[in-house]
Chains A and B, each alone.
Chain A
């Protein structure tokens, strides 16, 4: 959910764009990271862990914890918390354990 009113901050949002996450269309604003747009859409479950298949989501949001890695436009292990959403982007969960 996006914050509409804030006592201190004003949010200038960019142009409305769309990308897909596992085939579903997600709305975003230019300048937002993929993770921010997913969170705004209520998506918290990103991947499953390699071995135990436990759900994984956002943790650090500064590109250091590796919890949010996804395949973006075919590029694997993209840190979606520091990668801006781009119109028409294709974002997919990485469930690397599946390949084993």
Chain B
């Protein structure tokens, strides 16, 4: 028997689900094929809140986005979902084969969206095959899906968003992260993620690399060395560290196997992750009616994958039905994607895409960060004082509570704007890539913005010069959450202990969604220095 469909979607991650929803909503008889026995792809491991536009799930944890998408999918009766099903191949007669329950299924789709995702890159170094060397995704799977502690002491290789986010999640799972190693001179991921790690005491070693894993049957440590400007080892810089696991977060490569088998043309574009399909701005491959979306189309953030999924799904609708009514939404989605990619952090993807197709909105033009000099932040994860000063109100204003948004890098993100009930936070020129500004005339210090910031970069301060005291409110999402009245250690932006303070207030309700807001009282001179707290006696820092 041959199953006939208007659209077959391969891959049930964020891109594939969004493609299926778009196709299904517009009347296509749609089949979604997923290899695993669950939908959601990598979303179901993402405990952090997403960056991006409020309109596209930003500010929501990945795990909840997965639930929302699945609920929407289930509500559409013209979408069939086949989990535990592996797509095998697509043949000249237009038949797609898949393996389900040990049996081969034949499908005849009028259009297809391939959203197979990506897999982790490996890194060459001595002993890199020892048990205890894990891909960052594997560690996430163990701890965030199955609730299994991946290791006790982890060394993270790679400071891209995955390396930084997984390091933070490891600490949430009770694992010690001894440090993050980065061969480049700058931190690769969003700097707010780096700052989160630094204030937990985790060192980030730029211009360092791993030479060797130490151990015979499993990892017992690592040999690191420093690199010069030409990426060569600096003599005498070797350093041995003890750890029981080494986590590799050195990039992803598109899973393009089925694409090649189908005969879609591919090309090598390093900026997009390696071998990627040739495709148009409408995500159509060299085979008419076959579209791609998500990491397969080029490694990018999940927020882009969801937009691309919908875009590919709508283009499949147009291909099958000729319905032009989807054009308006297609135009809107392209604009959203353009917005996400428009800033300095989108440079790599813009450069990659410019090699694939000409499009009025895609340029490889370099856009320098022009708002702040973030050199120190990019090298260390700790903002320079002059950066912080720019975010502060006048001294007279400091006697009433005010929000300090320590967001200096131009990244596409805006949930803070929507979190403020007093319209006190705005993004200049409504450019999602610019960093947010607080209008201190409107800010009441109500604490609403703290939990919703995906970078946990918002703090609320207040100073009382007469008493020489002040308060600072910080986001907190670790175990050992302090209680009101507790005396806690106060930690600086680099995780070092500044002194002690008393917890005067805790917000931990539905609105905070497990990102507690903890207010501590301390000496006035520490107010602008405290960026983390911990219960006394729970010290667990990086050691390098």
Contact = CB atoms under 8 A, between A and B. Distances in A.
Interface of A: 1-3, 5-9, 11, 13, 32-33, 36, 39-40, 44-46, 49, 54-65, 81-82, 84
The A interface is mostly helix, strand or loop, or mixed, namely loop
B183 interface: no
A59 B514 CA distance: 30
Contacts of A56: 129, 131
B130 to A, nearest CB: 7
A57 B134 CA distance: 9
Given A59-B135, A65-B119, A7 B148 contact: no
A2 B217 contact: no
Contacts of A65: 119, 135
B511 interface: no
B135 A3 contact: no
The B interface is mostly helix, strand or loop, or mixed, namely loop
Contact of B131 (A5, A58, A62, A82): A58
B218 A3 contact: no
Contacts of B217: 45, 55
Contacts of A5: 174, 479
B149 A46 contact: no
A33 B142 CA distance: 10
Interface string B127-142: 0011111110110011
Contacts, number: 102
Given A45-B217, A59-B134, A8 B61 contact: yes
B385 interface: no
Contacts of B130: 54-55, 57
Contact of B143 (A3, A13, A63, A81): A3
A64 B479 contact: no
Contact of B172 (A7, A36, A40, A44): A7
A45 B142 contact: no
Among A8, A33, A39, residue most surrounded by chain B Cβ atoms (within 10 Å): A8
Interface residues of B, number: 38
Contacts of B20: none
A90 B173 CA distance: 30
Contacts of A55: 129-131, 217-218
A39 B313 CA distance: 39
Interface string B106-149: 00000000000001100000000111111101100111111111
B430 interface: no
B477 interface: yes
Interface in B454-490: 477-479, 481
B93 interface: no
A61 B218 contact: no
Given A33-B146, A49-B129, A56-B131, A63 B172 contact: no
Given A2-B147, A60-B120, A62-B137, 16 more contacts: A2-B149, A5-B479, A8-B172, A36-B141, A36-B146, A39-B142, A45-B218, A55-B217, A56-B131, A57-B133, A57-B218, A59-B133, A60-B135, A61-B135, A62-B138, A63-B35
A97 to B, nearest CB: 14
A60 B173 CA distance: 19
Contacts of A59: 133-135, 138
